[in-house]
Amino acid sequence: MQTFLEFEKPIAELEGKIEELRHLTNAGDINIADEVAKLQTKVDKLLRQTYAKLTPGQKVQVARHPNRPHCLDYVQGLIEDFTPLAGDRFFAEDRAVIGGLGRFRGRSVVVIGQEKGHDTESRVRHNFGMAKPEGYRKAQRLMDLADRFKLPVLSLVDTAGAFPGVQAEERGQAEAIASSIARCLRLNVPMVASVIGEGGSGGAIAIAAADRVLMLEHAIYSVITPEGCASILWRSPDMAGEAAIALRLISHDLKELGVIDRIIQEPIGGAQRDPAGTVKALGDAIEQSLREMDGLDSATLRAKRREKFLEMGQKGLG
Amino acid sequence: MNWLTNYVRPKIRALYARKEVPDNLWHKCPSCEAMLFHRELEENLHVCQHCGFHMRLDPIKRLQSIFDDGAYDGVELPKSVADPLKFRDQKRYTDRLKEAQVKTGRTDAIVVGNGLIGGLSAVVAVFDFGFMGGSMGIAVGEGLLTAAKLAVAKKAPLIVVPASGGARMQEGILSLMQMPRTTIAVEMVKEAGLPYIVVLTDPTTGGVTASFAMLGDIHIAEKGAQIGFAGARVIEGTIRETLPEGFQRSEYLLEHGMVDMVVHRRDLRDTLVRVIDLLTQPVRSEIEVVDADFEEAPVSNAVVVTTASASQPGAGDD
Ligand SMILES: [Zn+2]
């Protein structure tokens, strides 16, 4: 079932009409096929118009759209022989972080990604994509593995943020994130991070201090959720839309700031309208990114990765 | 008497006699509400002499309290892009910056000094919580990178004293990028084989804790400091858990293995002197004259004897 966002209401109404027409057996004078085609053209036009000028606040909604492909959809669509690996070897297995070995277009790779889940049961199982310290320690362990066997690391970022809880604090959430960032930066193998939905703060950068950072067109990447920012700076969570604008969390701005390297165009109407196409498009971009780094030795990789992050913030938005 | 006595008595008293505030001024301790004489409070490094409550310390006073004889060279920090996102909430970020600059007399929330600690060269970077809550944006990141590079150039340890609410929201994603950038700064120091010591003070939270502040070779926490990743209110709000007694305080972090020791501010300098000496002077010069035949064993014995006479790291004292 398609979920519609608030701003998609006119589109939803048109598509509702199309559905109705399709279920009509006796339409009298009108030609159903013609009517449907006409309405479909309208829908396409409206979708294109709407999605061409999404506000940052609307992008936040699209980035969190429940029907958007999630980490496991990309794993399923892009990784052959996926072999999930579990546990941080210290405390627990964190199902907010998917990890494992697999083959991506011929290359053996290590996959690390945040999974939000797609229904109540799976959301709870994956803790809504909010990792605890054990998730970030699992990520580090998998990066160790990648280094040892010289396998590229592909990370998929989709989290509102690291889990804020008493036990997460007790087990060193901050230390786990800090060490995970340091681990990314020390990798001797190429790392491609992809922001597929929500790139939420420290919880995201922990697995995104990568050689290449890719981002889906309507994904967001921010230091704080717009709601959190609004309640602090505007003292009202209702101002999240304003905060979303001010934070410059959309792919276009992040590209200009040099924080991300490549934007992956989404299908008209967003990734949720063509998950398979989106998965393939991201796969192509990841493959391209890996090719760019083929043949680079580990010292060069590390030096260039550092350089890239050190250059960030030298210029602002025009 | 051991060699430490040469260094442990800084002439702080003399240096603190700057007459900016009249001596007859009184302060109320925020913890026990005792009325404290201004001059006495200064002499006590802003620790309440009645209840031991550690108030926030001005960064310059902090530097003076750490370096030998309170003397150090201020390090000039590079100018960085101000307001890269042209951010505005209810106020313009540029206005907030100006206010903070006027209030503190500093360009941003970090001060770096270079001098001697226990006779050994060291670089110290201190956060100013009074400058927009010590939040970390590009300027702070640059400050830490400058401090790290200077430490490497001088072959000196790097000591960082954070006091920060976390990332500077008004710099959006670029403030998040200071997490990997400051992690790189730390890595530079570590790769050069130099000690990196973090002195966690009240408060150290958010993206600051989840990056350079949790990557120290040694973590020293001041008594009673709030140290954590997620804010207590966020945790209460999301999880609806009641927070345990002393949650996110230094002593709690010690209990959970996140810091090496909790120290009283008056013991901080001695602790730093001792730790730096132990990490960087593997063989004391006074015992290098040991008979060559017994070089191995007597040296290690002598070291044990020497350090045993120094006071133990004060994890549980007071
Ligand atoms: Zn008191």
- Taking only the tens place, the pLDDT of each residue in A91-122 is 999 999 999 999 999 999 999 999 999 999 99
Q: Is B214 on the interface with A (CB under 8 A)?
A: yes
Angle between helix axes A56-63 and A240-247 (nearest 10 degrees) is: 100
Q: Interior CA angle at A11 toward A7 and A16, to 5°?
A: 130
B15 CA: distance to closest CA in chain A (Å) = 37
Q: How far is the CA of B245 from the centre of ligand 1 (A)?
A: 19
Measured between beta carbons, the chain A residues lying within 8 angstroms of B212 are 178
Among residues A169, A137, A139, which one has the least CA distance to residue A154? Answer: A139
Per-residue pLDDT at A1: 61
Per-residue pLDDT at B236: 85
CB pairs under 8 A between A and B: 177
pLDDT, tens only, B95-126? 999 999 999 999 999 999 999 999 999 999 99
Q: Is A132 helix (H, G, I), strand (E, B) or coil?
A: coil
A263 membership: H or E segment, kind and range: strand A262-264
Task: Please check whether residue B163 is in contact with residue B127, taking contact to mean a CB–CB distance below 8 angstroms.
Answer: yes
Query: Per-residue pLDDT averaged across A234-251, rounded?
Result: 96
Q: Which of residues 156-185 of B touch A (CB under 8 A)?
A: 167, 169-181, 183-184
Find out if CATH 3.40.190.10 is the number for domain A60-310.
no
Per-residue pLDDT at B23: 61
Task: Please check whether residue A171 is in contact with residue A147, taking contact to mean a CB–CB distance below 8 angstroms.
Answer: no
The percent of residues in chain A predicted with pLDDT above 90, rounded, is: 91
All residue ranges of chain B with pLDDT < 70 are: 1-23, 285-318
In one letter, which amino acid is B275? V
Q: How far is the CA of B24 from the centre of ligand 1 (A)?
A: 18
Q: How far is the CA of B251 from the centre of ligand 1 (A)?
A: 18
Query: Per-residue pLDDT averaged across A27-44, rounded?
Result: 85
Per-residue pLDDT at B155: 98
B118 torsion bin: left (phi>0), alpha (psi -120 to 50), beta (else): left
Q: Which residue has the tokens 């106020």?
A: B91
In one letter, which amino acid is A301? L
Mark yes or no for CB contact A312/B175 under 8 Å: no
Q: Is B217 on the interface with A (CB under 8 A)?
A: no
Q: What is the mean pLDDT of chain A?
A: 96
Is residue A30 very low, low, confident or very high in pLDDT (cuts 50, 70, 90)?
A: confident
Measured between beta carbons, the chain B residues lying within 8 angstroms of A202 are 176, 179, 206-207, 210-211, 229
Per-residue pLDDT at B112: 98
Query: Per-residue pLDDT averaged across A69-79, rounded?
Result: 98
Measured between beta carbons, the chain B residues lying within 8 angstroms of A170 are 256
Q: Is B143 on the interface with A (CB under 8 A)?
A: no
Per-residue pLDDT at B24: 72
Between B172, B183, B256, which is nearest A247 by CB? B172
Query: Per-residue pLDDT averaged across A169-190, rounded?
Result: 98
Per-residue pLDDT at B16: 44
Q: Which residue has the tokens 């590390």?
A: A302
Mark yes or no for CB contact A310/B145 under 8 Å: yes
Residue A29 pLDDT exceeds 90: no
Q: Is B226 helix (H, G, I), strand (E, B) or coil?
A: strand
Query: What are B200's two structure tokens?
Result: 């966690």
Query: Per-residue pLDDT averaged across A231-237, rounded?
Result: 93
B35 CA: distance to closest CA in chain A (Å) = 33
A2 CA: distance to closest CA in chain B (Å) = 28
Q: Which residue has the tokens 């290359």?
A: A107
Using CA atoms, how far residue B83 sits from A186, A317, B138, in Å, is 30, 9, 9
Mark yes or no for CB contact B167/A177 under 8 Å: no
Q: How far is the CA of B30 from the centre of ligand 1 (A)?
A: 7
B178 CA: distance to closest CA in chain A (Å) = 9
Scanning every residue of chain B, which has its alpha carbon at the shortest distance from the alpha carbon of A182?
A: B183
DSSP labels, A87-103: --SSS---TTEEEEEEE
Identify the bridge partners of residue A226 per DSSP, sorted by sequence position: none
Per-residue pLDDT at B293: 54
Q: What is the rounded distance in angstroms from the CA atom of residue B199 to the CA atom of residue B221?
A: 6
Scanning every residue of chain B, which has its alpha carbon at the shortest distance from the alpha carbon of A186?
A: B187
Q: How far is the CA of B47 from the centre of ligand 1 (A)?
A: 8
Rg of chain A over CA atoms, in angstroms? 21
Per-residue pLDDT at B7: 38
Q: Is A198 helix (H, G, I), strand (E, B) or coil?
A: strand
Between B84, B179, B244, which is nearest A181 by CB? B179
Mark yes or no for CB contact B215/A229 under 8 Å: no
Listed in sequence order, the residues at least 6 apart from A71 whose beta carbon sits closer than 8 Å to its beta carbon are: A98, A113, A114, A115, A116, A129, A156, A158, A196
Between B84, B176, B209, which is nearest A223 by CB? B176
Q: What is the rounded distance in angstroms from the CA atom of residue A156 to the CA atom of residue A162?
A: 15
In one letter, which amino acid is B35? M
pTM of the model: 0.90
Per-residue pLDDT at A2: 76
pLDDT, tens only, A132-161? 999 999 999 999 999 999 999 999 999 999
pLDDT, tens only, B124-150? 999 999 999 999 999 999 999 999 999
Measured between beta carbons, the chain B residues lying within 8 angstroms of A243 are 89
B87 CA: distance to closest CA in chain A (Å) = 6
Among residues A188, A189, A173, A183, which one has the least CA distance to residue A209? Answer: A183
Q: What is the rounded distance in angstroms from the CA atom of residue B123 to the CA atom of residue B112?
A: 7
Between B88, B177, B243, which is nearest A309 by CB? B177
Q: Which of residues 232-291 of B touch A (CB under 8 A)?
A: 234-235, 238-239, 241, 243-244, 247-248, 256-258
Between B180, B181, B239, which is nearest A166 by CB? B239
Measured between beta carbons, the chain B residues lying within 8 angstroms of A172 are 214, 256-258
